Amino acid sequence: MDDYLTEDKTVFVVEEVNKIIKCAVETVIGENSYKHSRVNQWTTSVVEQCLIQLSKLGKPFKYIANCIIMQKNGAGLQTASTCFWDNTTDESCTVRWENKSMYVIVSIFGLAI
């Protein structure tokens, strides 16, 4: 039983990170309409909120957070990432969120210390 608890504190749980990302985006952006002048503030706030909540988990990870906000106007967006890491300990989570006027894509990478 102790091994299970110890392992749980050292594992990047994608479902847990997914909830953190969604909560941060909904709290910061919610039903706001897209405004170019606020995008910088929103992206900064989303990644900061994610990192604050992730650090509260107390897990031995370094985190990398990325946030993209794009106005819904019919334009395309292609994004990709790749990592050279330890597949047994490191992980990532990407969430695509949208409202009536914008798309938000947040990626969190967790790298075991």
User: What is the tens place of the pLDDT at every residue in 63-89?
Assistant: 999 999 999 999 999 888 889 999 999
DSSP-based three-state secondary structure for 12: coil
Distance CA 22, CA 4 (A): 27
Other CB atoms within 10 Å distance of the CB of residue 11:
15
In this model, does residue 22 exceed pLDDT 90? Answer: yes
CA 54, 91, 26, 101 torsion: positive or negative? positive
Mean pLDDT for 25-35 is 97
pTM: 0.90
Mean pLDDT of the residues in the chain = 92
Residue 5 reports pLDDT greater than 70: no
Residue-level pLDDT at 67: 98
Residue 24, CA atoms < 13 Å, CB-side half-sphere? 29
Q: What percent of the chain is predicted at pLDDT more than 70?
A: 93
